Structure 1
């Protein structure tokens, strides 16, 4: 049971509530702060030039410090609140949202447990006013917070975050940003200081028609600007990969939103259509459902343009994007029997499947730690494990390999002791082992309890023309890997994910290089065309 805070021992928490014409919600927000189980709180309402009853509401509530400024925007209002506050810890609550009673106490306890944290964040509920629906947003992020933030704003809501005051001696909200100022701040802080995230639900995020987050065009452009501001701060390959992934994820997310509005008949301006085409130039099927064809969308755009080069360009794209009738497919460079490369695209910038492999390892970098075994070489161990790896081992079948710390066939390796490794990295190797089930059993045996196997296998793939052509035995699917993991790791946990689509599968079969494939095409996954299957399996603890 948690020990109650006393007034004398509880650090003061300043709750800053910016308000612009949200007077009708303000009392509910303030009262949610006053109902907190935590005792030491000050409430500061910053009126950002409202013309409604914000001032009257704020001044009618006892214990509220009211500050007025000419309208300067949300970032400026928060910065004003920081200057007016006295608390050692700060929380920013939007006037149309509210806190649950234990929100401040929960975050204060975590901040006191780790004095190095710059901020701590938690989960929240989305509350849809039109339907009274409540949806919980709970994300688990245990470490590598900066990497996770590069891929997306896992925090999602201002009021779920508690900051230390000293943070604002180094950082302020960027008043030049019309949106995403919170995401920008989280990235800048997490780049330099430790932060923490938990899954306790702290606050309610009211969803209504005036939410800025509903402006997909603004959010897309601003999010990409915020992310781009981090480009000069990236220090490792994992960070660069996360940055690239984040860019593509945000593009896919907001262009999907825009296409959804278009399909539902919500009118988009010509500029909206331009934005959609700019960030998803091929109008790929990850943004458009089958009910609204690319041709339909492009026809709408073309009709909005009276004349000129833009109309001609879009009309040309319309022809290219149309699904051709039977017998009128244009094969172009694909009309050939020989692929562009017989080396998996290594001679054209690198294989397409490496994108999926390295994206997977970057996502799971937190388990590449302690003593790590990698098959063949230890390049991925060094790239993604970095300083977390205490000992790097290499298993190689060839005794002449000078870098091998273990020699042998992983399908029969009795000389490797049980419960030895914290992590095993086995990428694109299982298909070359005839007795692959035995290889998986060896992995389970030599992993420590709680240790992780990071495995990738090919699905749709060319067969090697060179060294491995005589031992290329298998291809897999996500269904086969799930069955294998259930057999190999009973009582453990496993995550099996297929990656690929018809475009990337075709590109891979033809030997195209990774730089030749647009990132937006790589991000779309269709389980009917599995180029790569990734597996993260955790060995259960011994009883």
Structure 2
């Protein structure tokens, strides 16, 4: 039953001249950001024999990513457009399915990489042939490209991430532009789980960590863009992404060692309940009571500890009294 939600990926037939890299760029109504995304890849381009670069558009309705690809890519970047909108999970799968390289980098059309990304990730796979994926430290940027924050390093030196499965399962630590995956890993494990309209990446990276070592690069080499039209942004106000966090936690639980699962799951529930409560406070201060209630409900779906219940009650009482 589970496998039906995760599309399988046929192995590629061996052939000479297969590229090392496939940089697959899914887009949907984000052409205004695509130029910078492409430029960040092309600045590190080792050439078509070593790197496939392809944009796959999910039938955008408000812009023309094909024009950006033609103008910026100048024939170097391939472009395909879905005949209809298939949704981001199916579009991601299509990207991976059409990837010809040994290593696949799924780079959203509104995100980017910094100089040195492909060199550092490539060195990781060369150094440790057993790893299934490698990821780097990353920044969060706004719609104008201004850096809002950067995550703390997971460890000071490049190398395997110790205790990767439990660490990644306890909270989302990887954004999609920061990670590269062997295509053979997706061939073995299947691609993203279609039950998750949000946080499908969290479940995927954790599933990989359950079967393979994971490499970490502490240099800041990727950036994730937050804006209202991103998948996360569209699902933020009414806490849909936290609803799917709950589902993801339940999907991740069976991947964990039996003796560690209760503690890791509790840690994840606590982390996302705290996030939901913080969002509820923010929406309460803005007098957006519908959004506040949605995030309070999400917090209680994730955790019903006395602390969570008390905090939720205080937020609701203050909002109802008009003192938030």
Same fold (TM over 0.5): yes
Aligned to 2:290: 268
Distance 1:176 1:259, change over 3 A: same
Q: Which runs of 5+ in 2 are unaligned?
A: 1-15, 156-160
Q: Measure how far apart 1:20 and its partner are.
A: 0.3
Q: Measure how far apart 1:84 and its partner are.
A: 1.4
Q: Secondary structure at the match of 1:204?
A: strand
Q: Measure how far apart 1:201 and its partner are.
A: 0.9
Distance 2:192 2:171 in 1: 19
Distance 1:125 1:81 in 2: 24
* 2:37–2:110 Cα contact (<8 Å) kept: yes
Distance 2:163 2:150 in 1: 23
Distance 1:108 1:9 in 2: 17
Distance 1:299 1:75 in 2: 42
* 1:129–1:206 Cα contact (<8 Å) kept: yes
Q: Measure how far apart 1:129 and its partner are.
A: 3.7
Q: Measure how far apart 1:133 and its partner are.
A: 4.3
Aligned to 1:352: none
Normalised by the length of structure 2, the TM-score is 0.80
Q: For each residue in 1:441-483, what CA deviation from the matched residue of structure 2 results, as whole angstroms up to 9, or x when unmatched?
A: xxxxxxxxxxxxxxxxxxxxxxxxxxxxxxxxxxxxxxxxxxx
* 2:207–2:255 Cα contact (<8 Å) kept: no
Aligned to 1:63: 76
The one of 13, 31, 38 aligned to 1:30? 38
The one of 8, 16, 27 aligned to 2:24? 16
Q: For each residue in 1:52-89, what CA deviation from the matched residue of structure 2 results, as whole angstroms up to 9, or x when unmatched?
A: 21222223422111111121222211111112121110
Distance 1:180 1:211 in 2: 13
Q: Secondary structure at the match of 1:224?
A: helix
- Per residue, is there more helix in 1 or in 2? 2
Normalised by the length of structure 1, the TM-score is 0.49
* 1:46–1:68 Cα contact (<8 Å) kept: yes
Q: For each residue in 1:416-440, what CA deviation from the matched residue of structure 2 results, as whole angstroms up to 9, or x when unmatched?
A: xxxxxxxxxxxxxxxxxxxxxxxxx
* 1:20–1:50 Cα contact (<8 Å) kept: yes
Aligned to 2:134: 120
The one of 233, 245, 252 aligned to 2:255? 233
Pairing 1:161–2:179 present: yes
Q: Measure how far apart 1:11 and its partner are.
A: 5.5
Distance 1:162 1:205, change over 3 A: same
Out of 143-152 and 127-136, give the one that drifted further: 127-136
* 1:158–1:182 Cα contact (<8 Å) kept: yes
Q: Which runs of 5+ in 1 are unaligned?
A: 1-7, 301-543
Q: For each residue in 1:502-542, what CA deviation from the matched residue of structure 2 results, as whole angstroms up to 9, or x when unmatched?
A: xxxxxxxxxxxxxxxxxxxxxxxxxxxxxxxxxxxxxxxxx
Q: Secondary structure at the match of 2:243?
A: helix
* 1:37–1:102 Cα contact (<8 Å) kept: no
Distance 1:119 1:67 in 2: 26
User: What is the total number of aligned residue pairs between the two structures?
Assistant: 289
Q: For each residue in 1:138-195, what CA deviation from the matched residue of structure 2 results, as whole angstroms up to 9, or x when unmatched?
A: 331530010111210111x111101111011122112332111111111111111111
Question: RMSD across aligned C-alpha pairs, in angstroms?
Answer: 2.7
Distance 1:186 1:56, change over 3 A: same
Q: For each residue in 1:184-241, what CA deviation from the matched residue of structure 2 results, as whole angstroms up to 9, or x when unmatched?
A: 1111111111112221111122222223334161111111111101223332322331
Distance 1:18 1:136 in 2: 24
Distance 1:129 1:100, change over 3 A: same
Pairing 1:256–2:278 present: yes
Aligned to 2:201: 182
